[in-house]
Structure 1
Amino acid sequence: MNSVKLFLRDHVSFIIFELLLVGFIVILYWLDGLRNIDTAIYSIVISLVLLTSFLVFRCMLRQRYYKKIVQLPTAMEDALQKNAKTAEARSVEAYLQTLYKLYQREVQSLYASQKRHDQFMNQWVHQMKTPISVMELLLQEDEVLDKKNVQEEIDRLKRGLEMVLVNARLESFEDDMHVEQVDLKQLVTMVVNENKRLFIAKRVYPAIEIEDNLQIASDSKWLRFVIGQFVTNAVKYTFEANKKIVLRAYTEEQQVILHVIDEGIGIPKSDLSRVTKAFFTGENGRKTGESTGMGLYLAEEICEKLGHTLTITSEVGKGTDVMITFKGELYD
């Protein structure tokens, strides 16, 4: 019954038009003096019969469609059933199918994002237990507190907290991004100074080979995190003392290219294509036991959002070269 009411409401303008048309025919016969009254009655009856037959046929043809949209579905499959008989109903069904696919993609994206966040937080909380446990052990000792060891653990906590904040802000990256002219040498020097205790602890030495006043267009805050991630990785995976980490930048075809080159253990060829995947730690990550598998993933995501290109090459036993290309962003 509800479907019939909906059909009548949907066709009320058409019914009014047809009745006006019949009325117009009656007026024509009246103006003619009603000389052919039988013909007039016959025309009116035929018009009404044809109108009623058309509406009944159309209502029967669209009955399934109207029942489908009148009754609230209990499952998604009910709304997506394909039983249309008219072109309009088929178009509506195609629209609903497309809408459902878009909805599914968004849900899957949100689910993957939430799953990644939960997994990252679980790993991060587990890893942050280590520096906290170390500091607790240092506090329990009767000897004079070793400030150097405490500072190292605090630095590890700081790096972990920074990574959590970056992961949280990545979802609203566009709102937090501010592109400006950045002095690349000054930024790289700042990153090196922020990690000087790590360099000293590992007995690894930085070498900055960047000309003065080399300007690029980027977001200094996000780029500092990216370069910092490359630097800490380079130091962390350089197990031998007295090695160098070279930070080199130059211009090439109106592009600025930055290299972070270490002399560490290198990345196995089988892992190289997957090091930027979320939570991938690989063979090297298992050696240190400190990797969350998120550092390079976040770095690549940030580079992509900033319009930079990230390339990683490596050879086991010789080291790794991480390269960022700032496309078309050279300033004189």
Structure 2
Amino acid sequence: MGMKLFIKEHISFVLFEILIVLFILSLYWLDGFRNMSTAIYTMIISLILIISFLGFRYFRRQSYLNKITNLPQTMEDALQKNAKSPEHFQTESYLQELYRVYQHEVQVLYASQNRQEKFLNQWIHQMKTPISVLELLLQEEAPLDKKSVQEEVDRIKRGLEMVLMNARLEKFEDDMQIEQVCLKQIVNATINENKRLFITNRVFPETHIEEGLIVASDSKWLKFILVQFITNAVKYTFEQNKRILVTATKAGSEVKLTIRDEGIGIPKSDLTRVTKAFFTGENGRKTGESTGMGLYLASEICEKLGHQFEIESEVGVGTTITLTFQ
């Protein structure tokens, strides 16, 4: 196969060389040179030189030709080095770089698929709890407790919202729409949508945000981020009659939104890892309801939107999350 490829590649070169020799001999013929034996000798010497050159060239390229004519069995075959000429060295460098790009894309896709699968399995497991509670409520002979049903429905709705946002995160740029957002309006809307969560846990929100405070963000994604922060603040405030304080301040071109709770706080050993995917930590094990994805998704969305995101916490005192808008 290597020889056939070499001949196909150089047949035009041989014909061109023969054409040049014939052209030079025709010039001598027109100039009056009529010695046929010299002409034949010249053609034979030219052919010998051409064949010798091509033979040497084939010998140097044999291993490379064999490599590219045999179909690879694995992607690692692209890393073999058989080049002898600068052109083939460059070709092999190109293939090796292409292999590295391919490997990187495969690893990214594999990590994304693995994360999605793991999250979905964990999410399905979490959704079994509210469904089981609803089944128990329906089996009771007493009148249906609508408040309890609503709590479980709200839990399922929050779970569905998270899994949908996780799916959309893969195509975030297509779904993003930056606009001027009234910060007080979106914070109040988020709190009102989760008022049953506050009432059930007997935690009270307080907001201190100026009316005309505007930030550049995506209202849908920003609301999702705020839901994660507020839900965590309520979920990890075990004592009743505690507060969640939401404030916003403007300093120059920056606006800082702060969400502070009076909950159990985050241990220092967990603080640097709470934004990693599937990390539940000590607090997550206490509630048994954490997927470890809420703060991870919030962190990813903040990075894509260009918002800075910081967490400060002290065990027994509470947690403060600061979101900075440029």
**Letter paired with 1:86:** S
1:36 and 1:252 map into 2 onto residues whose CA distance is 98
Q: CA deviation at 1:39?
A: 4.7
1:307 and 1:79 map into 2 onto residues whose CA distance is 39
Matched residue SS, 1:246 = strand
Counterpart position of 2:239: 240
Summarize the alignment of residues 135-174 of structure 1 with structure 2, pairs less than 5 Å apart: 135-174=134-173
Structure 1 range deviating more: 19-28 or 265-274: 19-28
Q: CA deviation at 1:221?
A: 0.5
2:195 and 2:270 map into 1 onto residues whose CA distance is 29
Q: CA deviation at 1:215?
A: 1.1
1:96 and 1:282 map into 2 onto residues whose CA distance is 44
Contact 1:204-1:243 within 8 A present in 2 as well? yes
Q: TM-score, normalization: structure 2?
A: 0.96
1:168-227 deviations in Å (ceiling 9; x for gaps): 111111111111111111000000001101111111111111101211111110110001
Q: CA deviation at 1:9?
A: 2.1
Indicate the percent of aligned positions where both proteins have the same amino acid. Answer: 66
Counterpart position of 1:56: 55
Summarize the alignment of residues 1-332 of structure 1 with structure 2, pairs less than 5 Å apart: 2-34=1-33, 39-327=38-326
**Letter paired with 2:186:** L
Counterpart position of 1:330: none
2:181 and 2:77 map into 1 onto residues whose CA distance is 56
Q: CA deviation at 1:11?
A: 2.3
Q: TM-score, normalization: structure 1?
A: 0.94
**Letter paired with 1:181:** Q
**Letter paired with 1:196:** K
Contact 2:21-2:46 within 8 A present in 1 as well? yes
Contact 2:237-2:263 within 8 A present in 1 as well? yes
2:287 and 2:76 map into 1 onto residues whose CA distance is 50
Measured on the aligned residues, the alpha-carbon RMSD in Å equals: 1.5
Q: CA deviation at 1:43?
A: 3.4
**Letter paired with 2:4:** K
2:18 and 2:311 map into 1 onto residues whose CA distance is 77
**Letter paired with 2:195:** K
Contact 2:67-2:82 within 8 A present in 1 as well? no
